[in-house]
Structure 1
């Protein structure tokens, strides 16, 4: 499957069966044990990023791009904390859900702003660019293009999460105990941390903070990099 096909599959999946599945996972309703585990892992990733940004003490002064915002799990609390947030997702249904959740949490406000956009079609400059749990859907060559594009929009900092490619996780993926079956998910890609770091360095960034989220069914490496 080539990169263009992957993008088409991701868009179609999150506008159909994937939307209902992940809306439940990212919500607070009843789900099965695997989905609950993934919900917990994703929330831990979101919370870690929020902790980093809140610890810096300047969220209200920041402009932030949340690329691949999903249902707004990160965008909404960032806006609540005072940051100016531009959120986007390739899925029209995901963006619609994010807008509804933002209105319920924040009222009728223009922050965050939401748009349906392909990540590589994003433009503008932001203090911080964030992309969580998106790279897992794309192969290394496409991920490299995406990271480079996001880095070009970041004036000061970029935060990424990805499923790290290690021997253990590669084995788990191969035997099917890591990711849901093909009827329930898009193709899943692991990425070597060294490769991601190399791409960031080529764009003038250096890693400052890193964290690993690990549950039974969810694994995500988070990197924060700033302009050197």
Structure 2
């Protein structure tokens, strides 16, 4: 399967059956135990990013690009905190849901711009560029291209999450315990941390902060890299 096919599958999946499934996972309604585990894991990753940005005490001064924003789990609280956020997703339905949630939450909706857009076509100049839980859908060569493009948009910082390629997770993935059931519809690619760090460094960034979220069914390595 080539990268173009992966992108088509991701787009179609999150505009159809995947949308309803992940909207529930990223929401507050009743879900099964596996979905609840993934919800909690994803929220831990979002909370870590929010804690990093808030700890710097300059959130209201930042311009942020949230590439692959989903239903706005990160974009909305960032905009609520005063940041100017440009958020995009390949899925029209995800963006529509994010707009609905933002309209119910944000006192100043002008802080958040939401758009249906392919990651590779993103343009602009932002203090911080963030991409969470997107790279898992793409093989390493495509992920390298995506990371390089995101780096080109960032004045100061890039924050990425990915499913790390370790022996243990590779075994889980092989036996079907990693992202179980129908969530496999988009494939789950694991990435070596050394490969991700290498492409960041190639683009002039060095890792400053890192974290790992690990639940039963959700595994996410989080890196913050700043321009050298």
Report the TM-score range of the alignment, normalised by the length of the smaller protein.
Answer: over 0.9
Q: What is the rounded CA distance, in whole Å, between the counterparts of 1:184 and 1:221 in structure 2?
A: 19
Matches within 5 A, 1:1-228: 1-107=1-107, 109-182=109-182, 185-228=185-228
Q: What is the rounded CA distance, in whole Å, between the counterparts of 1:162 and 1:63 in structure 2?
A: 23
TM-score (norm 2): 0.98
TM-score (norm 1): 0.98
TM-aligned CA distance change 1:128 to 1:108, over 3 Å:
closer
Mind listing any 5+ residue stretches in structure 1 that lack a counterpart? none
Q: What is the rounded CA distance, in whole Å, between the counterparts of 2:83 and 2:174 in structure 1?
A: 41
Q: What is the rounded CA distance, in whole Å, between the counterparts of 1:119 and 1:210 in structure 2?
A: 23
The alignment yields a C-alpha RMSD, in angstroms, of 1.0
TM-aligned CA distance change 1:108 to 1:157, over 3 Å:
closer
Q: What is the rounded CA distance, in whole Å, between the counterparts of 2:6 and 2:150 in structure 1?
A: 19
Instruction: Give the C-alpha shift of residue 181 in structure 1.
Output: 3.0
1:82 aligns to what SS in structure 2? coil
Instruction: Give the C-alpha shift of residue 53 in structure 1.
Output: 0.2
**Are the counterparts in 2 of residues 67 and 89 from structure 1 also a CA contact under 8 Å?**
yes
Name the count of aligned residue pairs.
228
Instruction: Give the C-alpha shift of residue 111 in structure 1.
Output: 2.2
